[in-house]
Amino acid sequence: AQKVTQAQTEISVVEKEDVTLDCVYETRDTTYYLFWYKQPPSGELVFLIRRNSFDEQNEISGRYSWNFQKSTSSFNFTITASQVVDSAVYFCALRSGNTGKLIFGQGTTLQVKP
């Protein structure tokens, strides 16, 4: 079975703190893709990153970084020097197979306080 678990339901930090959002996935496929999406209070879903199962290189984009570890089936997301605008719900998702269907985690609500 395919499954994505985001064990952290809610996280609250103070601005400028670093924060890591955890994502653990389960799949038997050898080829799969992992995603992170951001859902700000306005409600839209914003794509952040896609990672292929055969590419374990970590990625950094500004204050955002992602750590992909196949050995632990994890794809964690770190925000460095958090800002109030980072307050949102963050979803991790898994896709495998040719239909493109996504399996989402339950989401982590991040609150960044000024």
Partner 1 sequence: DAGITQSPRHKVTETGTPVTLRCHQTENHRYMYWYRQDPGHGLRLIHYSYGVKDTDKGEVSDGYSVSRSKTEDFLLTLESATSSQTSVYFCAISVRGSGGAPTDTQYFGPGTRLTVL
| Residues found near partner 1 in the complex (CB under 8 A) | 4, 6, 35, 37, 43-45, 47, 50, 91, 93, 95, 98-102, 104-107
Taking the complex as a whole, how short is the minimal distance between the CB of residue 41 and partner 1, in angstroms? 13
Taking the complex as a whole, how short is the minimal distance between the CB of residue 17 and partner 1, in angstroms? 25
3 vs 70, beta carbon nearer partner 1: 3
Taking the complex as a whole, how short is the minimal distance between the CB of residue 79 and partner 1, in angstroms? 20
15 vs 64, beta carbon nearer partner 1: 64
Taking the complex as a whole, how short is the minimal distance between the CB of residue 46 and partner 1, in angstroms? 8
Task: Give, in order, the Cα–Cα distances in Å from 12 to each of 42, 45, 79.
Answer: 19, 21, 13
With b for 16 or more beta-carbon neighbours within 10 A and e for fewer, the 38-53 pattern comes to: beeeeeeeeeebebeb
78 vs 109, beta carbon nearer partner 1: 109
16 vs 101, beta carbon nearer partner 1: 101
Tally Cβ neighbours within 10 Å of residue 86.
19
Q: Are 62 and 80 in contact (CB under 8 A)?
A: no
Cα–Cα nearest to 79, from 101, 56, 59, 63: 63
